[in-house]
Amino acid sequence: MMRQGLGPIVGGLLLAAFAGPGIGNTQGQRVVASDPQCAAAPRSHASITSLLEAPPLATPPATTGGETLERGVPASEVERQAMRTLVGEWLACQNEGKLFSSWALFSDPYLYRLISRQPPISEALYDDWSTPQPVDPVTATLLEISGERRLDDGRLGATVRISYVSIPMPKEFFFYFVEQGEALLIDSILGEISFSVP
């Protein structure tokens, strides 16, 4: 069943059927472990409402400033593993239809940018969307992550390659990550993902 109610909003970040060209490939690719799980606790309706009522400080925009990739220094092995784990879990949440769990893996500024121009989510709609709607067969598969680096602005970044069943060729994106307390969160995605409700 299709979820209705907000039109174009974040939700199915795994939908890229109308995507354009991807970001160029890089060296040092690492195959991602299979079978990631979605263990993130979902964002509550109260936390989403509070986010919209008190906008967080903006983070730098997703741009390479004309370069092929963001400048930075190679990430440590611990940082690389954290990025791989986070992207795998985010995609697992998408495939398992756990919308608000996937939102929990975004930083507040990034999620705010994605949903602030849309109608607010009512409690009834939140309750409806809280019911997982897994995709079968799995719509998107994380293939590999490469170029993991510590960026000049302090964030982490990596090129992420994803395969979609609706697209003949895999797509590549540049993910930005920010450390919040002890957690690593997705802070922006540079590429051609379509932000539509599944």
CATH architecture of 30-56+71-190: Roll (3.10)
Helices then strands, counting H and E runs in the chain, come out as 5, 6
Which residue(s) pair with 177 in the sheet? 156, 186
**Interval 91-149: pLDDT, tens:** 999 999 999 999 999 999 999 999 988 888 999 999 999 988 777 677 889 999 999 99
- In whole angstroms, give the CA distance from residue 106 to residue 90: 9
**Interval 4-17: pLDDT, tens:** 433 333 444 433 32
Domain ranges of the chain: 30-56+71-190
Predicted structure pTM score: 0.77
Full DSSP string of 124-166: HHHHHHTS----SS--EEEEEEEEEEEETTS-EEEEEEEEETT
Contact predicate 11/4, CB 8 Å = no
**Interval 83-107: pLDDT, tens:** 999 999 999 999 999 999 999 999 9
Stronger pLDDT, 180 or 13, i.e. the higher one = 180
